Amino acid sequence: MNYYDEIKQELINNEIYKKAKDYSKNRSDLRSYYNVGRLLFEAGNDYGENIIGNYSKKLVIEVGKKYDKSTLFKIRKFYLIFSNEKVAPLVPQLSWSHCLILLPIKDIDKINYYIEQIIKRNLSKRELERIIKDKEYERLPNETKDKIIKKEENEVKDYIKNPIIIKNSNNYEEISEKILQQMILEDIPSFLNELGEGFTFIKNEYKIKIGDNYNYIDLLLFNYIYNCFVVVELKVTDLKKEHIGQVQVYMNYIDKHLKNDNQNKTIGIIIVRRDNKNIIAYSSDNRIISREYQVI
């Protein structure tokens, strides 16, 4: 079998197609590179690793400079990853630029997660690079990773990262609860992304009246996917049992006075300097979630 001629023709056809059909060039790239990757893999099995170097020398001259040895190895690796039955199938939303960013990742489950995020959030190349750099997958709870692998139904708490990254854009030196809240408000879209999908901001310092006293919920959110209010309390200390009691009171208040019959029960998120799994483990309300924060 003449692998070289097939590879050359596949790449030439792709270049011609992309010029004529610019709107679908990403899909053409992925399809062509997948086929070329398969041929490179088979040629390597038949003739040894050096065949890729030999092909690249001729392709650079006959097709284009971009098809050097490094590019051919990336194309072959692309095939090896995406031919794995555990990897999500190719979709039009992925571009070759996305795939190049994913190639260095060895964990198939991690690759699948980022493919899902590219599609769900319509991530650009730069946005994908950022969430990988921020170790978004690594900061998911282990239970969530298991659910993703098993394709089980998710809950509102599943994609809340740990730790939650909060940007200190104005270089605050002393981090109080007020300052922590201010940093979140300065970049609320990033904070909501840290919590996962479907979170929207309602108000900070949301005032409620319990008996004769006014109380203020640090952040009141709503999740439109899970159809529920979300109470967020910020603490710059370790998690304490009284924090759970406080959030539980706020959740019950929202359920009684704000939630309607078509909405699900309110959940609570306590964001703390340091978590205490023992306290959460003995909490009787599994709607309450604790997460640590990390200021960068």
Do 107 and 163 sit in the same domain of this protein?
Answer: no
Q: Give me the pLDDT at residue 280, please.
A: 85
Q: Tokens 């190049």 belong to which residue?
A: 100
Phi, psi dihedrals of residue 71, rounded to the nearest 5°: -65, -40
Last residue of a domain, one of 64, 99, 133: 133
- Reported as a single tens digit per residue, the pLDDT across 259-272 is 999 999 999 999 99
Q: Report the 10 Å Cβ neighbour count for 219.
A: 22
Q: Give me the pLDDT at residue 281, please.
A: 82
Residue pair 236/271 in contact by the 8 Å Cβ criterion: no
pLDDT above 80: residue 284: no
In-domain check, residue 107: yes
Domain that holds residue 91: 3-133
- Helix (H) or strand (E) run with residue 198 in it: none
Q: 47: Cβ–Cβ under 8 A, 6 or more apart, which residues?
A: 3
Do 211 and 78 sit in the same domain of this protein?
Answer: no
Do 193 and 120 sit in the same domain of this protein?
Answer: no
264-272 and 288-295 strand pairing: parallel
Number of folded domains that form the chain: 2
Prediction pTM value: 0.88
Q: 181: Cβ–Cβ under 8 A, 6 or more apart, which residues?
A: 204, 218, 219, 234
Do 113 and 181 sit in the same domain of this protein?
Answer: no
Three-state DSSP state, 211: coil
Do 160 and 241 sit in the same domain of this protein?
Answer: yes
- Reported as a single tens digit per residue, the pLDDT across 102-148 is 999 999 999 999 999 999 999 999 999 999 999 999 999 999 999 99
Phi, psi dihedrals of residue 73, rounded to the nearest 5°: -65, -35
